[in-house]
Chain A
């Protein structure tokens, strides 16, 4: 059971989530290409695809607008798109943040004050989760335009996959900072509210931070205060979209111990946050397929054909491979048990990096296979 096509049937949004370095971007692109080849109008929002892959799909570096992948590329790779379309966009989070400020700013003066504030300059890059939030902001915007059957979001490579879920909340909390805002008011108002302790507090803070830093912060919060409502409302609607039954989270991971633990943790957080979990994709798996148990026997058998020295190295390689395959099997079994799901899709460790549409379609033989038996068969005959 479980092919990506089944998992995404009737879905409008697919979010590929997981820790860095597990092939999330490639998986997102492959899913989008696969769904397009099934007649859907699909857009994939990606963060930082491999240049060779982006080039081969004819996509420029950044831009924050969707570009259509030439249907001729599908024809060349031997796929009939039917009515399907594949669009792709590379997300520029700073630019998105600027757009959001422009949209919510009550007037031009406020907008300019924010965009030129030094705290703001750092904020879009430095505040944990702001890149994640901007990815979802863009997702929400494109979803609202209703031009696609399916949106696939490749989440940013954060250290912690959870930054992504908490991002809207964290950002609004940061901007809401009412306590600080009152405190920062330049006139005596803040002092009155907080009493004598605060004025002493203020002098202590001055001593530590320096006055200018406080002033910049104060200005930033004052300028932002008019936009808090807009931001909060927006974040609420973004969250609604994430939790919608027509959204599906696919957790992407690799078969090593650490990525597996992170996938388990992330799945738990998804469930706690009542987000719709679809399934898990494990990349770079060493398939066991028809691996022989006894490397010694293989060595003896091959020695006749290729000589003892080469046969010995083949056997040695087989032992190493088998050790990794056994580790992968254990880890994946643990993952399936922890997640209580049968929707575990294993993609083998391919011999070469994926860098064109044909490569994505090769991955799709596994992603869109009807079940694990079919996948094992494909791997064995590859």
Chain B
């Protein structure tokens, strides 16, 4: 399951909630952080989540996929002769080529995700997982990320990279194995981006979005009549009551604006939309995210 969306919409939080939900249902789940965000180690209060899977809770492992490490692992699996590998790793030219080739980092990252999802892992003594959840790069880069294997298959017309890229491309396009979820917020720009992202994923990458998570939805605490009554009260009153009424009016306005955007989102996208509540806790820890996890299954 690849989780993507615009920056700042809570993509990492939703990915973690999905992973927790799956793990609690007894699925052996691995959550992949891409491009060294190091958010997971923060949430779990662990010093570091590295390139190796670490068990964070029952049935839940996490890994931070570093492109350089993925590249190294790929080469190790590709070249069986040790002398050749050593030569390659020592070479400045190789490092340069790896850094300079557009998309190569994304390709090896997807390669690692594919490897994690294999029943029969390539890595020695690799655990097999029921579910791999990917906290993918923010959109803008998101469509490009999923497109990489196909682009590579086209650019490298022959050779092992082409074969590898084709395998990855089939992996991404197999709806039995791979699903894409998009995280959105009930605000104008994120809704627009989500609509565009769903279309681009369809037309440019050829994958269907499986589900959209609309995050941070305010509760509807007050109906229209009540909001109006409170607005009147705020205008005629002074003191503490006034500030409290104004806060209530503000929230009901935002909640209403959010419902309008949510309606737009549902109207303009194909995939089913699941809403997740706004969490009023100042900082999100595992417990708050676990509460969110209860909501992602609906």
Contacts and interface: CB of A to CB of B under 8 A. Distances in A.
A213 B88 contact: no
B192 A50 contact: yes
Contact of B102 (A122, A157, A257, A349): A122
B272 interface: no
B47 interface: no
A146 interface: no
Interface residues of A, number: 74
B138 A313 contact: no
Interface stretch (B58-66, B158-166, B290-298): B158-166
Interface stretch (A9-17, A204-212, A233-241, A339-347): A204-212
Interface residues of B, number: 68
A273 interface: no
B241 A201 contact: no
Contact of A208 (B78, B140, B187, B249): B78
A297 to B, nearest CB: 7
Interface in B173-198: 187-190, 192
Nearest to A327: B282
B6 interface: yes
Contacts, number: 195
Nearest to A190: B93
Contacts of A118: 154-155
B244 A119 contact: no
B244 A201 contact: no
B117 interface: no
Interface stretch (A70-78, A101-109, A299-307): A299-307
Interface stretch (B22-30, B120-128, B225-233): B225-233
Contacts of A204: 79, 84, 87-88
A156 B281 CA distance: 30
A181 to B, nearest CB: 10
Interface of B: 6-9, 35, 39, 75, 78-79, 84, 87-88, 91-94, 96-97, 100-103, 106, 137-138, 140-141, 144, 151, 154-162, 187-190, 192, 221-222, 226, 229-230, 233, 239-245, 247-251, 253-254, 257, 280-283
Interface of A: 19-22, 50-52, 118-119, 122-123, 125-127, 156-159, 174, 177, 179-180, 183, 194, 197-198, 200-201, 204-213, 216-217, 254, 257-259, 289-292, 294-295, 297-298, 301-302, 305-306, 310, 313-318, 320-321, 323-324, 326-327, 349, 351-353, 355
